[in-house]
């Protein structure tokens, strides 16, 4: 299973070089993951389970500028007991801008102890 989301680049996200400042890409990827989870349950926090980023690997292949629409595709590529990896591809007008893998750990919302995902979450994300 995969998920796709469009993100319109805003003026404040572009640096003096006229391209999206690199740190914004992690926020975009986080937003894509959050929205994907909320498509299952808009009150996601009430599941008692949440995700924390453990590691992120990003590679740029191009750039995006103000008012471009960044189309981000996401897919879970690995499931562990409490962790999972999401691969992302981001494009502008079909041109590859970014590939990334984000490594998440599922944790209890109460004490942040690593916890397996609820079965509905895993099924929704493609596990």
Mean pLDDT of the chain: 95
pLDDT above 90: residue 45:
no
In sequence order, what E strands does the chain have? 2-8, 49-60, 69-79, 83-92, 95-108
Contact yes or no for 100/91 (Cβ under 8 A): no
The region of weakest confidence among 23-27, 38-42, 58-62 is 38-42
Q: What is the C-alpha to C-alpha distance for residues 15 and 17, in angstroms, rounded to an integer?
A: 5
Domain that holds residue 110: 2-125
Domain count, the chain: 1
Read off the pLDDT of each residue in 75-102 and give the average, rounded to a whole number: 98
Residues 6+ apart with CB under 8 A from 18: 65, 66
* pLDDT given for residue 47 in this prediction: 85
DSSP per position, 73-92? EEEEEEE-SSEEEEEEEEEE
CATH number at residue 86: 3.10.129.10
What pTM was estimated for this model as a whole? 0.94
Question: Residue 1 — pLDDT band, cuts 50, 70, 90?
Answer: confident
Contact yes or no for 4/72 (Cβ under 8 A): yes
């Amino acid at each position: 299973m995969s998920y796709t989301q469009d993100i319109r680049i805003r003026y404040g996200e572009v640096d003096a070089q006229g391209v999206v400042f690199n740190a914004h890409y992690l926020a975009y990827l986080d937003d894509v993951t959050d929205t994907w989870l909320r498509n299952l349950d808009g009150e996601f926090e009430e599941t008692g389970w949440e995700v924390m980023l453990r590691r992120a690997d990003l590679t740029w292949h191009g750039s995006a500028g103000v008012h471009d629409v960044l189309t981000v595709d996401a897919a879970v590529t690995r499931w562990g007991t409490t962790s999972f990896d999401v691969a992302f591809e981001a494009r502008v007008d079909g041109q590859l801008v970014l590939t990334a893998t984000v490594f998440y750990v599922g944790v209890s919302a109460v004490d942040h102890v690593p916890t397996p995902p609820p079965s509905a979450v895993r099924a929704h994300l493609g596990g």
